[in-house]
């Protein structure tokens, strides 16, 4: 199952990439994927992920949302400005 993860701002810096494609064995809850991303990229990204909001296929999503094959996940840290 293929998923595209796109990181923005501080999340991209902590992940060391603006995007990555993941091959997952099966659909899983967003919370589990976020946890896995934190382990995969280390404590800096794990810390940033704790403050992020997420768009799953362009729709706001929270932990129980299911990430399915072909999904795009946007990882959005808090932005400053006005």
User: CB neighbours of 63 closer than 8 A, spacing ≥ 6?
Assistant: 29, 30, 31, 34
Q: Is residue 82 part of a domain?
A: no
Q: Is residue 30 part of a domain?
A: yes
Domain enclosing residue 57, as ranges: 2-76
Per-residue model confidence as pLDDT tens digits over 16-72: 999 999 999 999 999 999 999 999 999 999 999 999 999 999 999 999 999 999 999
Q: Is residue 65 part of a domain?
A: yes
3-state helix, strand, coil in the chain (%, to 5): 30, 35, 35
Q: Quick one: pLDDT at residue 79?
A: 79
Number of independent structural domains in the chain: 1
Cα separation, 81 vs 18, in Å, equals 21
Q: What is the CATH number of the domain that holds 41?
A: 3.10.20.30
**In this structure, what are the phi and psi dihedrals at residue 34, rounded to the nearest 5 degrees?**
-60, -45
Q: Calculate mean pLDDT across residues 1-6.
A: 97
Query: Residue 11: pLDDT above 70?
Result: yes
User: 19 has which bridge partners?
Assistant: 6
Q: Quick one: pLDDT at residue 81?
A: 56
């Amino acid at each position: 199952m293929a998923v595209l993860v796109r990181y923005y701002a501080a999340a991209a810096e902590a992940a060391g990439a603006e995007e990555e494609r993941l091959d997952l064995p099966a659909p899983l809850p967003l919370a589990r994927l976020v946890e896995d991303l934190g382990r995969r990229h280390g404590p800096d990204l794990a810390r940033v992920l704790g403050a992020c909001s997420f768009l799953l296929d362009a729709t706001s999503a929270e932990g129980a949302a299911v990430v399915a094959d072909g999904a795009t996940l946007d990882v959005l840290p808090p932005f400053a400005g006005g």
